[in-house]
Chain A
Amino acid sequence: MGRRRSGADPAFKYGTLILSSSVLVLALIYFYELYTGSVPTLRTGLGFVFGSIWDPVNSHFGVFPMLYGSLVTSAIALVIGVPVSLGVAIFLSELSPIGLRSPISFVVEMLAAVPSVVYGLWGLFVLAPLLRTDVYPYLERYLGFLPIFQGTIYGVSMLTAGIILAIMIIPIVASISRDALLAVPDSQREAALALGATKSEAIRMSVLSYARSGIMASVFLGFGRAFGETMAVTMLIGNTPLVSASLFSPGYSLASLIANEYTEASSAVYISALIEAGLVLLFVSFFANVIARLMIGRLIRSREAASYL
């Protein structure tokens, strides 16, 4: 005894420490670079966010239509996707026979594995035509008193983009909700059933309220995912900077804006505007994720390798 500490131990520890700091550094770089890159247009302040004219030729950069499109499509995704996801989650945790659980979870996970450009491709050639001919006309006929279902029907529109986003967020909302529901102790369910509640009443009474924060967190994550989705939306939203009350109308999203116009961006101001769009995306998704993770850090921790998170 009496030897000095081995050099390999500190080397390994500090080596891995430095590599792990890449995560922190990354987070900082994201904000720093996108901030400095958008300084020229940041000066226009809120005019960027609320201005409606996107006219690069004359240096007008208002992204309100794109912001509107991102928000509307994300909202549609949540309105359609969350109930479906909850239904799947409830089925998996409360109703499904044990043997069915794995196959169904498997299918849900496969939904997450499909590349978004393939969703866009399928949406463009299969879903959009189908919706335009078989679904939207009925929506207009029966629900046309609502402004959202009025106007000319386009296959490639905000509603179509919203629907495909709904499908894409199912995996994340369903699996986290399922975990939240599974975490509810059986005693809760038994208490409600012992009071004479039907199965659905028991679920509503005890399980759903107990799992509320987990489900809310999954909604936030779903929102973040939908808000930032690029390829499927770009291929299905129509890429027209319009602010329309009608969901049948084409629109634009922040992510699509960036994807479409990067190759054309010539002037420094133009590029700066696109970067600022990216900054908005960064902020929204970052905070949606932070809020969600704070709500249920522990629940997510126990998941296996989930590559789509």
Chain B
Amino acid sequence: MLESLSAQEINTMPRTGISVQTPSKMEVIGLNVKYGSKQALFDINIGFRPNKVTAMIGPSGCGKSTLIRCLNRMHELVPGARVEGKVLLDGQDIYGEDLDPADVRRRVGMVFQKPNPFPNMSVADNVVAGLKLSGTKDKGHLEGIARKYLERVYLWDEVKEDTKRSGASLSGGQQQRLCIARALAIEPEVILMDEPCSALDPTATARIEQLITSLKENYTVIIVTHNMQQAARIADYTAFMYLGKLVEYDETTTLFENPHEQLTERYITGKFG
């Protein structure tokens, strides 16, 4: 995507070992985000590789959640939020005029920190909720989709006895896998995950990490995590953020073993955060 970046834009990108000539699925250019007079993100420039897992790490308040919510325009739901800059999906700015945020969100799905299945829908209905709410009615078709994605997230065997049970009756880890299935069912291209395992126990976390690794075959995954070890385990690329700025962005192994920035090194060795 070299043509879409001006010389100035290239010069302001943070030090990174990744060649800018590798194409990006999503590209953030000059992103500044403010709430009223407070600024949450300062001039973010980052490209996310297709079919890879990219992790964003950093101490609380560094802006990683804000950034990820800008990628599917969920951030603009916060009253008083102002977003400047561009976010490109396959080269097209998702903040363009006349673009319906709903369309963007169908291509860029999201899984939240606290699992939030719809409480008075069954497990099966939860999976296809995105489709049903947008008008799909064919029951047979929907049943097939529900099963397909429940299998995809390794949940099918655990719920097949009774798919009519309420989505909220599952355990925390199961609920989160259900939410992932629900996000997958609308067939997005990118999946955003905002600390998906922080509310879960280690066993459930392990299962979801396993699932995430299998997802990158078909999707581009961007995950926010406060757990560095998790990033080290499952991410191909890692971005380290601090106080609203992108400090370093590189292949995970490089970032953890041989970071360029002193700040990065201090964070990953536990000196702060």
Chain A residues within 8 Å of B, Cβ to Cβ: 1-6
For residue B77, CB closer than 8 A to chain A, the reply is: no
How far, in whole Å, are A2 and B96 apart by their CA atoms in the complex?
8
Return the chain B residue nearest A5 by Cβ: B100
Cross-chain contact B92 with A2 (CB below 8 angstroms): yes
B89 contact set on A, CB distance < 8 A: 1
Return the chain A residue nearest B102 by Cβ: A6
How far, in whole Å, are A241 and B29 apart by their CA atoms in the complex?
79
Nearest Cβ in chain A — how far from B186, in angstroms? 14
Most chain B CB inside 10 Å of its own CB: which residue of A1, A2, A4: A1
How far, in whole Å, are A268 and B103 apart by their CA atoms in the complex?
62
How far, in whole Å, are A4 and B102 apart by their CA atoms in the complex?
11
For residue B107, CB closer than 8 A to chain A, the reply is: yes
Chain B residues within 8 Å of chain A by Cβ, number: 11
How far, in whole Å, are A6 and B100 apart by their CA atoms in the complex?
7
Cross-chain contact A1 with B99 (CB below 8 angstroms): yes
10 closest A-B pairs by CB: A5-B100, A1-B103, A4-B98, A3-B103, A3-B100, A6-B100, A1-B92, A1-B99, A5-B98, A1-B104
Q: How many A-B residue pairs have CB under 8 A?
A: 21
How far, in whole Å, are A4 and B103 apart by their CA atoms in the complex?
10
The interface residues of chain B, by DSSP majority, are classed as mixed
For residue B150, CB closer than 8 A to chain A, the reply is: no
| Apart from A3-B100, A4-B98, A6-B102, 16 more pairs, CB < 8 Å | A1-B89, A1-B94, A1-B99, A1-B103, A1-B104, A1-B107, A2-B96, A2-B98, A2-B99, A3-B99, A3-B103, A4-B100, A5-B98, A5-B99, A5-B100, A6-B100
Return the chain B residue nearest A4 by Cβ: B98
How far, in whole Å, are A3 and B98 apart by their CA atoms in the complex?
7
How far, in whole Å, are A4 and B98 apart by their CA atoms in the complex?
5
Nearest Cβ in chain A — how far from B25, in angstroms? 14
Return the chain A residue nearest B104 by Cβ: A1
Return the chain A residue nearest B101 by Cβ: A5
Nearest Cβ in chain B — how far from A251, in angstroms? 53
B99 contact set on A, CB distance < 8 A: 1-3, 5
Nearest Cβ in chain A — how far from B87, in angstroms? 12
A6 contact set on B, CB distance < 8 A: 100, 102
Within 8 A of A (CB), among B109-144: none
How far, in whole Å, are A67 and B107 apart by their CA atoms in the complex?
68
Within 8 A of A (CB), among B131-187: none
Within 8 A of A (CB), among B50-107: 89, 92, 94, 96, 98-100, 102-104, 107
How far, in whole Å, are A4 and B101 apart by their CA atoms in the complex?
10
